[in-house]
Amino acid sequence: MTLKEKYRGYFDIGAAVNTGTIVSHNELITREFSSITCENEMKYNRVTSDGKTYNFADADAIAEYAKKNGLKVRMHTLLWHNQVPDAIFEGADKDALLATLKAHTQKIGERYGKLIYVADVANEVVEDKEDYLYRRSKWYDILGDTLLDEAFAYAAQYMPGVKLCYNDYNEMDPVKSKKIYELVKGLLERGAPVHTLGLQAHWSISTSLDDIKRALELYSKLGVSLQVTEMDISVYPTREEPAVEKPSADMIKKQVQLYRDAFALFREYKDIMDSVTTWGVADDMTWLSRMRGVVRKNWPLLFDDDHQPKEAYHAIMDF
Ligand code: GLA
């Protein structure tokens, strides 16, 4: 039994991949997963560095891989404050930036619209802690409070039949989850075609199950589907924790427990949960091992450095 077989009837099981891992992790990807996300290759600055000329070579390589192996594809991501060419903002007023976003959405839609089942139309526009709703970014500075309304309208125009997603992190935080809820509710009330809410789930062993429960309950009231889009569970309780040579028994125990509890919850929401994606395939290649320039080996995924199933894997398979 593999992950994707076990969870058939519940939701798709996805992994973030890149042009390297589709070769080095091919066996695991094709055996265990039913959906993939490009870790970087479909991001704005990876398909165009100047906002005008496009190079789809890397994204195409992954698209071809998906087709060849019958994998579903999550498109990640259109409007985001990171990994976006600065050139698109230079001297742009609202109309000009909207025209650029529209043209970009059209490019992506025409190329991958038939392949993808969902698109992250916008990523991380909600501010974490402050009183205000929107993160201050170049997008926000130029487009203002309705920055997502057009983004979703363009995606609906150029990606017919694709589920349109709003995606964010710290999505289980008691303060931020309310803001994400308000953002999506507002969009829906204004008629924006938001079909699904993406929950990144970059968690750690100190993430609270109660917070997760409460946030899922809140989001389920939106009337859109949910997708867990970037799940990993860091073995360190905090970002500042010093690196260890190998995870302690206590770290592993907590990680296994949280994976198990979380998947039990996701199953409870199976009627609205479309897919659960981990951010990476196996522990030998994950962004958490080198986050913001700091080298700190992490073991956040379901497969180990040798691509063997970990305890966390067994914990979500054996119940
Ligand atoms: C965010 C983004 C992802 C990725 C991760 C870190 O969660 O949505 O695309 O960049 O950060 O790797």
pLDDT in tens, 20-67: 999 999 999 999 999 999 999 999 999 999 999 999 999 999 999 999
Q: Which of 112, 133, 114, 113 is nearest to 124 (CA)?
A: 133
The finding on whether 169 has its CB within 6 A of some atom of ligand 1 is: yes
User: Which pLDDT score, from 0 to 100, does residue 41 have?
Assistant: 98
What does the alpha-carbon distance between residue 220 and residue 223 come to, in Å, rounded to a whole number?
6
Give the Å distances, CA to CA, from 182 to 58, 187, 201, 316.
36, 9, 19, 32
Residues annotated as catalytic (active site), given as ranges:
124, 230
123 ligand 1 Cβ < 6 A = yes
Segment 108-151, tens digit of pLDDT: 999 999 999 999 999 999 999 888 999 999 999 999 998 999 99
pTM tops 0.85: yes
Compute, in angstroms, the gap from residue 68 CA to the centroid of ligand 1.
Answer: 26
Give the pLDDT confidence score for residue 224 in this predicted structure.
Answer: 98
Query: Is the CB–ligand 1 distance for residue 44 below 6 Å?
Result: no
Distances (CA, A) of 239 to 20, 125, 295: 27, 22, 12
In order along the chain (319 residues), what is the average pLDDT of each group of 10 residues? 97 98 98 98 98 98 98 98 98 98 98 98 95 96 96 98 98 97 98 98 98 98 98 96 96 98 98 98 96 91 98 96
